[in-house]
Amino acid sequence: MRIGKQDQAFTAIATSDETSITVRGHDLCDELIGRIGFTDYLWLLVTGKRASDVQRQAADACLVAIAEHGLVPSVQAARMTLAAGPDAWQGAMAAGLLGMGSVVAGSSEAAGHFIVETLAAGRKNGDLDAAAKAVLQDLKAARQKVPGLGHPQHNAGDPRADRLLAIADDLGISGDHIRTLRILGEHAPGIIGRPLPINVSGAIPAVMLDAGWPAEAMKAIPLIARAAGLAAHLFEETQRSIGFIMSNHADKAIAYDGKIAGRGE
């Protein structure tokens, strides 16, 4: 992506005039509102193409799978932000989304690129199994985590991942990306030396990639899904606030070990 002067300044997403709004070549009011579901609309907005029934079902499953997982750090940040600023839903929502990084909730992007790169290496040398083993050995040597594998809570197997992969099988879309993920999951425990089941952040990109979703837009899936979960938490925060309770518990849980003023320590 170039920075600075651009030769062409265009967008193919939407335009409007005095009487109409056009989105991806469709009249918003006559062709889309009331005629298309939000998941279909998301697919159209991002890819420029209408989703097939199978693509919609795959995307729906992934969005539902990652929308909610309890009081994770991003949710805590959002609820404490709303407790401190009850009129700032947009700020609280932003606080939660900004907390979705490479460790919690936002790791589908990295896992997606990892799957794509491993598959490309396998296609290049004609042996996906060997390519998977090689990248896993490289990660072990570098003491790096394996994207899309392992979970601190679901260490015996992430049930969300198992369900998503089963749905992909049932829909008939399981292809090279899911096969790559499964091969990585098969070899990782032996190479890394500990249990590393496929997690939901690995299953989501594998399913979405095989369904035809672009890898460059993968992070949109958990972001959009978690926005729905955050909306639920923020509404509950307005009804039964726990933001300051969480803040108070954090204050009590962390001990101060710095210098004490006036004691010369």
Per domain, the residue ranges of the chain are 108-217
Q: Tens place of pLDDT for every residue, the chain, 265 residues?
A: 567 676 778 899 999 999 999 999 999 999 999 999 999 999 999 999 999 999 999 999 999 999 998 998 999 999 999 999 999 999 999 999 998 877 776 689 999 999 999 999 999 999 999 999 999 999 999 999 999 998 666 667 789 999 999 999 999 999 999 999 999 999 999 999 999 999 999 999 999 999 999 999 999 999 999 999 999 999 999 999 999 999 999 999 999 999 888 775 5
Predicted local confidence at residue 154, as pLDDT: 65
Predicted local confidence at residue 152, as pLDDT: 63
Instruction: Specify the pairing of strand 21-23 against strand 26-27.
Output: antiparallel
Predicted local confidence at residue 133, as pLDDT: 97
Predicted local confidence at residue 41, as pLDDT: 98
As a whole number of angstroms, the distance between CA 228 and CA 157 comes to 25
As a whole number of angstroms, the distance between CA 247 and CA 251 comes to 6
Question: What are φ and ψ of residue 26, in 5° steps?
Answer: -115, 140
Q: Which amino acid is at 179?
A: R
Predicted local confidence at residue 265, as pLDDT: 54
Q: Which amino acid is at 236?
A: E
Cβ contact 66:222 at 8 Å: yes
Cβ contact 206:178 at 8 Å: yes
Is CATH 1.10.760.10 the right assignment for the domain spanning 108-217? no
Residue 100: CB partners within 8 Å, gap ≥ 6?
74, 106, 222, 223, 226
Residue 265: CB partners within 8 Å, gap ≥ 6?
259
